[in-house]
Amino acid sequence: MKHPYQDSALPMAARVRDLLERMTVEEKVGQLRGQMIFNPGEEPRDYSAGHVRSLSHFAHYKGTRRTASECAALNNADLMKSIEAHRLGIPVLINEEALHGAQWGDATCFPQAIALAAMWDEPLMAQVCTAIARELKAVNIHQVFAPVINISRDSRWGRAQESYGEDVYLTCRMALAYVKALEGMNIITSPKHFVDNYAEGGRDSNASHSSWRILREVFLEPFRVCIQEGGARSLMAAYNSIDGVPCSCSQVLLTDLLRDEWKFTGFVVSDYGGIEGVCSAHHLAVDKADALAQSFLAGLDVELPNSDLTLLALVQDGRVPLAALDAATARVLQAKFELGLFDQPYVDEPQADVVVRCAAHRALAREAARKAMVLLKNHDGVLPLRQDLRAIGVFGPAADTVNLGDYSGPYGGWGGGGVSPLAGLRAMVAPGTALRVCAPGEDLAEVARACEVALYFATIREEEGSDRSNLDLPRIKAQEAGVTDAAHAIIVEKRRQDLILGDQVAEIRQIAATGTKVVAVLLAGSAVTMAAWIDEVAAVLLPWYGGEEGGTAIAEVLFGACNPGGKLPITFPKNVGQSPLYYSYKPSGRAYHYNDNDGKPLFPFGFGLSYATFEYSNLVITPERTDGKGPVTVRMEVRNSSAVAGDEVVQLYIHDEVASVAVPVKELRGFARVSLVAGEQQTVTFTLQPHDLALWNREMRRVVENGTFEIMVGSSSEDIRLRGRLTVAG
């Protein structure tokens, strides 16, 4: 006999209510517990835990590789056992990471998140995220802890690469594409980390000192957009404190703002160990039970990665009301019903091998890597490289590595192969051109003199837990590498086998001193300072961490088979002392800068060169006067004025000329990536909605004020080509 909760024809709310009424307190607590199995098959599995890290995530531990269908089988089997082990047949919710590709097995590895933002291409971003969703779905993943939507305004933060950069609008658009794609395929997204999870000096998880005005204007907005416009059904609380209270136990954040104001109906998960941190790191609790009680009552639902029966004891002794337990459990059950786990819990295992890392997805990864490429310098048109070059020198620690960035592949490393820059060059180079690869121990100058162009592939060390106080290319001492050759010391980074050279700056300068033209290629995820060498190189190309097809895309751009069109989603400072540095700053009261530089960036937000040139004309704003309650259209013409095809990212900025509170000198409010053949002209149109013109006034209400807005359109935040004015008179 079927119970009502087992009847798929009934309304979901009725099914949730019926199941909740049949559950014991112990079973309800189980739905709010997590488990992460580090060694599948060797560690005991607690099937009463309602959330589990995908077994396929750790299935490659100790070097064992598994196919996509084998990963699907692991998750199917775990799901079946969880249902069988529960007297009411409640399925487990399987979670995973998917920052720039599904983080298990040999799933397609797309360019890192910061690189996806550098595409400035919403339709392509949506395609990439749809492919990620298909691969997650194929192996039965139900929830992902992504995207990372923290606004990254300090490149010293080691996780800047995981973000979409410094700008609120760009981050919102990229995040919305991600969330809509995954939620649209019924995969729960958990945008993170809520909120403002790095502080002065770019230090991860340090206390935030942002005012509530700055939180509202900057750091909270992407989360609001993901929830209210994207439909995100979960959220991950950050480790840090806000206004003296850890995010994990902040009622202001998790209940007052999230549920009461934003009407969020999903469930909140802790960052890994975040609840314990309320006690051990922040010292707001006397023990773990106290920390859990504070967090749960504040609005946090699920403790990750592993949780015990502490919550059960808290309910039994009355420290957590049964009504609060029921509300949290109902939110999790609602998600499981929405996912279809009670009705069709399993996936077709053989089909996973058809979907995962298919030819179409690898081609999409290659296209994304091409679109993410940012050309920062190109003196005398050294790029693209001529096809008749006699010899090209290949130098640097990243030349023959597949640099993927943080959160790439399963535990034990991504094993799908991928294309290194050197492999890409070998496939692209003309038959008559020799690639002269400088091996460790060789004389760089001697090799460089034998070449017409030297390509130097540089990289940096950054990741979660690796914030840095220096933005120069890293220098590693020989003794740290365990070798004796200081000039060519190479270390192997323990987690991802990324090669890092001993003194990259010295090598670039040594090669440049030979007179051979140097092209620096930076495999990085955040800003690099270049004062010591940029004037000595002919070109600088930034492919970021380009994913598994990054090497192919690099070679295509270097040889002109592809024209770079990416733009910076972060500002590059001249030196680390300028950090944090971002384009949308508020005015200074006296406009002083440092006494040793002009305060301007090395490369501004939105910057990126092309092999083509573009002209802007005919700005039209309709209407030029508005009551602030309807849309405003901004239209202009963009023409490719060169002899080669290329992409241009047209950027729309606004500035409220006189406001009731200080506002940024300019703010991005629209962008469009257009592809134009030589001589082609295209009309580009943006629509400004009332929300785009609004500000948080002195009473902290979001309003559109009367006044005049300067409308700016250009090729970067500093390269404004067209200006106009819009009057609001409500």
Domain boundary among 562, 578, 594: 578
Same structural domain, 526 and 648: no
- pLDDT tens across 145-200, in order? 999 999 999 999 999 999 999 999 999 999 999 999 999 999 999 999 999 999 88
Same structural domain, 486 and 549: yes
- pLDDT tens across 6-49, in order? 999 999 999 999 999 999 999 999 999 999 998 877 889 999 99
Same structural domain, 528 and 456: yes
Stated as kind and residue range, the H or E segment containing 286 is none
Which residue ranges of the chain lie beneath pLDDT 70? 62, 411-412, 476-502
- pLDDT tens across 511-548, in order? 999 999 999 999 999 999 999 999 999 999 999 999 99
CA distance linking residue 289 with residue 293, whole number of Å:
6
Number of domains in the chain: 2
Quick one: which of 567, 507, 517, 506 has its CA closest to 542? Answer: 567
Same structural domain, 446 and 394: yes
297 found inside a domain: no
- How much is the pLDDT for 412? 63
Same structural domain, 391 and 447: yes
711 found inside a domain: yes
Which value, in Å, is the radius of gyration of the alpha carbons in the chain? 26
CA distance linking residue 144 with residue 464, whole number of Å:
18
Same structural domain, 514 and 626: no
Domain boundary among 522, 550, 578: 578
Same structural domain, 623 and 476: no
Residue 645 belongs to domain with CATH number = 2.60.40.10
Identity (one letter) of the amino acid at 164? Y
Transcribe 337-398 into DSSP letters: HHTTTTT-----HHHHHHHTT-HHHHHHHHHHHHHH-EEEEEGGG--SPPTT-SEEEEESTT
640 found inside a domain: yes
Write out 407-475 in H/E/C secondary structure: CCCCCCCCCCCCCCHHHHHHHHCCCCCEEEECCCCCCHHHHHHCCCEEEEEEECCCCCCCCCCCCCCCE
Exposure of 502 in the CB half-sphere (CA atoms within 13 A)? 18
CA distance linking residue 379 with residue 384, whole number of Å:
11
Same structural domain, 403 and 531: yes
- Structure-block tokens of residue 91: 């399925």
- How much is the pLDDT for 484? 37
Same structural domain, 435 and 491: yes
- How much is the pLDDT for 478? 43
- Burial (CB count within 10 angstroms: exposed 0-12, middle 13-18, buried 19+), residue 729: exposed
Rounded to two decimals, the pTM is 0.96
Identity (one letter) of the amino acid at 510? Q
Residue 274 three-state SS = helix
Packing angle between helix 122-138 and helix 168-184, nearest 10 degrees?
A: 40
- Structure-block tokens of residue 166: 């410094």
Q: What domain range includes position 472?
A: 381-578
Domain boundary among 558, 578, 598: 578
Residue 433 belongs to domain with CATH number = 3.40.50.1700
Transcribe 103-138 into DSSP letters: SSTT---PPPHHHHHHT--HHHHHHHHHHHHHHHHH
- How much is the pLDDT for 477? 52
Phi, psi of 250 (to 5 degrees): -95, 110
Same structural domain, 637 and 500: no
